[in-house]
Amino acid sequence: MRLPLEILQLILQEAVDILPYGDILHSRLTNSLFNKTLWPTSASLDHPGAIFTVWRKFPYKRKYLWFLIENHRERPCFFSELCHDIRQMPHIAATSEKEKHILMDKMIDAILHSTESPSMLFSPHRYRACIENVTDASGGRIEPLERTLESGLAASAILRGDHVELQSLLDEGLWLMRWSETMGQVPVDLAYKEGTPEIIKIVAPRYSFFYQSRSWWTKDHSCGLAVAARRGDAERVELLIKTNLDRGWDISLELYKAVEGVLRIGKVEMVGVLEKYMTHPRESMQWLWFYCYNEAVKNGMFHVVRWLYNREGALMKQTSPWHKTPLFIALHDCPSNARLEMVRLLLENGADPNGNGGLEVSQTPLQRAIQNGDLEAAMLLVEFGANPNTAARGTVPLHMAIQQGHPALVRCMLEHGAKPRYQFKGKRYTVRRSEHITTLLEDLGFDQVTEQEYVILDRPDTGSRACH
């Protein structure tokens, strides 16, 4: 009797939890069904580097790391060498195999949440640097094994929600804010990201919100409250805030940073959780909304822009001598696939199409759009009232459009009041439609010509330039 395919797939899916990593690799070679069910990625044993390109979606991370540990002699890498060195530490070597297995599983917990890339963690090159005791590829010194082990155990306790083990480690003097060069992490960062309420209650009273989230030479610092808020867990955030307020600490800067952080990734729902604890003066909050608004425009985050419009509509029209105006940010920095709609959104909500702002006083929005080749954005600006005769830096927008060959934009500007006669660099010019070319094309049998051609004529007549 043949086994139905659906039943076979279920059996294979369950077998994944039992089979060693190597057996999964070999079983997938049976046929296409086995391959599809057991291995929903493009990696292969012969090309382990391919695993790293799909690491985030790789379904068997833990099995793969156990495979590296068990096959260290044949395929040594930095992580497998680290695990074997830890197993040989005197107080670890004296334990049972079961205890060693549990310890290695905890180290895998930690390494799976490392900020280092998998190609670095499982690199044979970094392995050679490790055994030669020289600087690793990222430039930092190899740290003592004891410190690495402590960091890994703390990270595992946090990730597993084991507050008893974490408390025990802290009682032994472990410092959670120390960056582990080997593991590529700082345990307190994981506590703010993943910690259960019990873990938070242990960590929050001991440490400030600001900590170094990379090695010392990067000068990269993080705010724990902002890290927790970006995860979107309102309960964890409120617990952190109340724990620190109960201690009488001033966390106004941390709250400010947290609001900025959640708006930068679009989690507007977290603002309400944070804002009720904020006591900043109105002027300070206005600059926060203004900064977040500009960042949302820059990153094409329409829902944040609309949320801020609904909340602080009048404030969105403010400018600063130290920042580009939002309209210039949209034209210059917004992703190309969102630029036109962002410009439209700003104009529909009152952005000044003629407004120069701060760092961009030498150019109008219309000139910037033409310079960038954004024909649709330029036409949209004209339709919303951009003055086509404003010649910042002496450059006439009409002249720029013809030089770049945009007849539709030239026609649009002329229809909206652009002067066909102007002066540029000491010369006077006239723009007119070349009627005889349109007629000639129609006489030659072409369909009706919809695109008009315009010609710039120097005055006196020293030459001409056509715009097709």
Is residue 32's pLDDT more than 90? no
CA pair distance 47, 49, nearest whole angstrom: 5
Buried b (16+ CB within 10 A) or exposed e, 382-416: bebebbbebbbeebbbbbbbbeeebbbbbbbbbeb
In a domain, 349, yes or no: no
445-462 residue pLDDT tens: 545 444 445 555 444 444
In a domain, 452, yes or no: no
Q: Which residue, 376, 390, 378, 384, is CA-closest to 346?
A: 384
Contacts of range 209-213, beta carbons closer than 8 Å, 24 or more positions apart: 209/240, 209/244, 209/251, 209/254, 210/254, 211/177, 211/186, 212/177, 212/179, 212/186, 213/115, 213/179, 213/186, 213/189
Judgement on whether residues 105 and 161 belong to the same structural domain of the protein: yes
pTM here is: 0.71
Is residue 215's pLDDT more than 70? no
Final residue in a domain of this structure, among 239, 260, 280: 280
Judgement on whether residues 109 and 151 belong to the same structural domain of the protein: yes
Say what the pLDDT of residue 24 is: 65
Q: Which residue, 331, 395, 391, is CA-closest to 365?
A: 331
Final residue in a domain of this structure, among 262, 280, 298: 280
In a domain, 392, yes or no: no
Judgement on whether residues 87 and 182 belong to the same structural domain of the protein: yes
In a domain, 145, yes or no: yes
In a domain, 136, yes or no: yes
Q: Which residue, 465, 447, 318, is CA-closest to 406?
A: 465
The domain total for the chain is: 2
What is the bridge-based pairing of β-strands 454-459 and 221-223?
unpaired
Final residue in a domain of this structure, among 202, 236, 253: 202
Judgement on whether residues 213 and 145 belong to the same structural domain of the protein: no
* DSSP string covering 274-340: HHTT----HHHHHHHHHHHHHHHHHTT-HHHHHHHHHHHTGGGG---TTS--HHHHHHHTS-HHHHH
87-136 residue pLDDT tens: 999 999 999 999 999 999 999 999 999 988 888 888 776 655 555 554 44
Judgement on whether residues 98 and 149 belong to the same structural domain of the protein: yes
Judgement on whether residues 116 and 236 belong to the same structural domain of the protein: no
Judgement on whether residues 231 and 184 belong to the same structural domain of the protein: no
Say what the pLDDT of residue 464 is: 47
Judgement on whether residues 181 and 227 belong to the same structural domain of the protein: no
Judgement on whether residues 104 and 177 belong to the same structural domain of the protein: yes
350-404 residue pLDDT tens: 888 987 755 555 788 998 899 888 999 999 999 999 998 887 777 888 888 888 8
In a domain, 399, yes or no: no
Domain that holds residue 96: 71-202
Q: Which residue, 331, 324, 326, is CA-closest to 377?
A: 331
Judgement on whether residues 157 and 243 belong to the same structural domain of the protein: no
Judgement on whether residues 91 and 186 belong to the same structural domain of the protein: yes
In a domain, 134, yes or no: yes
In a domain, 117, yes or no: yes
Judgement on whether residues 146 and 107 belong to the same structural domain of the protein: yes
